[in-house]
Structure 1
Amino acid sequence: MLEAKLAEAGTLKKLLDAIKELVTDANFECNEEGINLQAMDNSHVALVAVNLEAVGFKRYRCDRPMPLGVNLTSLTKVLKCAKDDDICTLKAADEADVLNLVYEAKNSDRIAEYDMKLMDIDSDTLGIPDTEYDARVTMPSAEFTRIVRDLSQLGESVRIEVSKEGVRFASEGESANGSVLLRQTEEVAKVGKIKAESKDDDEEGADDDEDDDEKAKEKKPKVKKERDEDVEMDEDDDVEEVNKPGEDGEEEQDPEEDEDDDDEEGGKKRKKKSGPSKPSKKPRTSKASSKSKGKGKEDDEPAGVTIEMNQHVSLTFSLKYLVNFSKSASLCPKVQLMMSNDVPLLVAYDFGQGHIRYYLAPKIGDD
């Protein structure tokens, strides 16, 4: 028996929208590890491989390996009946000829149920060898979509060339020619240098911080040691002092006991009057700013263009297929292009649920 529960039906809808024009009928191979699909187009030029990992499902159960022969056009029509945020459950009994789909709305009590007939499809699973590619380009998927769609207006083929200059997409048509060059993003290229320099700065900065701490202590002789300890202990618990007055009042001085008994407004006034409360704010703001800066760098990295090249690569491909591949951009913000001379192009989209990979044979000569 198979029972696979997806958090959002939109993931499955986006997958089918990307492959339904390449493949008409295909087997969803279900096993303990997840659901896989592998199929070639009718002209045997492109191959698509989809993997939905069992870990990505809210609930997944597959008692034994079983193929689900599906007409992708029919499945797309059934999935259109579901909203993108509906919880989608796929069910199939052992040796069943029907696939059951249940859609549960998150914001209401609506539950829709559909049955779709399965097919017996004879297909051989191809073994995809592990290939060491000479060039790997990581770029925003939206940029890749735009490039192939623009160039498809000019001609039927595109030459993808990876060199020290960058990655170039060039198309020649009867009435016009066009090319787009993407250079490696400087911020991405400098990430390694920045990280290496930051380590050295941290080591040097540690010694400087110790000197600064000693100077700070010398500049503030009026502050008692007891108050320094209170600042460190209460650095992250200012809210608790306002909400629970009087808990630490016995350990503090008499004037501050009276202020702890005040309301929230009194607590705010106490912070303005007391001298040691100002330094307590600085480390919190500095920590927050440093964390936000770190997150910003991580978020900016996928948006850039990264090029890894062992040798110069230049191949020509059909734009019609690349435009179909680019429809998977809604699944992942970045795409990887892996190339080697005389080897099919690999276009890979990795998302939280799994991955989808396309393999496209290059054009040779005038074909």
Structure 2
Amino acid sequence: MFEALLGNGLILKKIIEAIKELVSEVNLEVTSEGLSIQAMDASHVALVVLSLRAEQFEEYRCDRPQTLGVSIGNLAKLMKIAGNDDSITLRAEDDANILTLTFTGKNNERVSEFNLNLLTLDSEHLGIPEQDYSAVMKMSSAEFSRICRELTQITDTLNLAVDKEAAKFAVSGDIGAGSITMRPNDSDKAEEKMFLRATEPVSMAFALRYLNLFNKAASLSDEVTLSLSPEVPVVLQFGFDLGELKYFLAPKIAEEA
């Protein structure tokens, strides 16, 4: 049997909101260590990797590892029923064909229970190699989200150039061209603070549509970490108390950019 109680159900609502437009069906892997999801978008351009640690749940039980196939769209519909202050319990029997979700109000004044039919999905677990990246930058997730959103007004491709001195977000479109440059600093203002480490300059192009979808996870974390190396997918990492949400995005090749 698998059962997990999350006192702050709002976190789970935010996670589902952050991935529902990228992936439609996922395998939820449950083990004694926690929950994880690894799923690619339909275009095989972006990869979503979610890890939630068992010890961060109020209660957690997993008698044996299970794979639960879930429709993210259907799960999102149920999540809209849960109040922002509700606790959420996930429960599945061994070899289950349903996932039971229980939403409990703050003072137990309201308890809602729903069964979500599970799916049988092909399991495609990718081995993601550990690697040292040429450049790592950490900045306010709200500020990064704002930059991507604003630059979308000009074009659909972001050219990101990073070196030891700065990170330059550049765009060029029919109406003109422009750039926003961020330099590392220890500002007291969270939205301005930025860490940057680069062992070599990196310049790559990415689809802003995907970055804007990733930035829905800004509600989970005040900071986003970007890891870049030439010709490999960029990694956006949003860390929070329960675990972390990572997005991998393949760069655009020159002909596309």
Q: TM (normalized to structure 1)?
A: 0.68
Q: What do residues 154-191 of structure 1 show as CA deviations (whole Å, max 9, x unaligned)?
A: 11100111123310111111113221110111x36xxx
Q: How many Å apart are 1:62 and its aligned residue?
A: 0.4
Q: How many Å apart are 1:302 and its aligned residue?
A: 8.4
Aligned to 2:231: 342
Aligned to 1:272: none
Q: How many Å apart are 1:109 and its aligned residue?
A: 1.8
Aligned to 1:49: 49
Q: Of residues 201, 218, 243 in structure 2, which corresponds to 1:329?
A: 218
Between structure 1 and structure 2, the one with the greater Rg is: 1
The 5-angstrom pairing of residues 190-269 of structure 1 reads: none
The count of residues paired between Structure 1 and Structure 2 equals: 256
Aligned to 2:68: 68
The 5-angstrom pairing of residues 95-110 of structure 1 reads: 95-110=95-110
Distance 2:213 2:144 in 1: 12
The one-letter code of the counterpart of 1:150 is E
Q: How many Å apart are 1:126 and its aligned residue?
A: 0.3
* 1:30 match: secondary structure: strand
Q: Which moved more, 1:42-51 or 1:103-112?
A: 103-112
The one-letter code of the counterpart of 1:74 is N
* 2:126 match: secondary structure: coil
Distance 1:6 1:28 in 2: 16
Aligned to 2:119: 119
* 2:49 match: secondary structure: strand
Distance 2:70 2:105 in 1: 25
Q: Which has the higher helix share?
A: 1
Alignment gaps of 5+ in structure 2: none
The one-letter code of the counterpart of 1:145 is S
8 Å contact kept, 1:24–1:72: yes
The one-letter code of the counterpart of 2:19 is I
The one-letter code of the counterpart of 1:327 is K
Over the matched positions of the two proteins, sequence identity in percent amounts to 42
The one-letter code of the counterpart of 1:166 is A
Change (3 A) 1:336 1:126: same
Aligned to 1:89: 89
Aligned to 2:18: 18
Distance 1:94 1:166 in 2: 52
- Runs of 4+ with >2 A deviation: 300-303
Aligned to 1:167: 167
* 1:107 match: secondary structure: coil
Superposed CA RMSD in Å reads: 1.3
Distance 1:45 1:317 in 2: 10
Alignment gaps of 5+ in structure 1: 189-296
Q: Which has the higher strand share?
A: 2
Distance 2:102 2:24 in 1: 23
Distance 1:302 1:182 in 2: 11
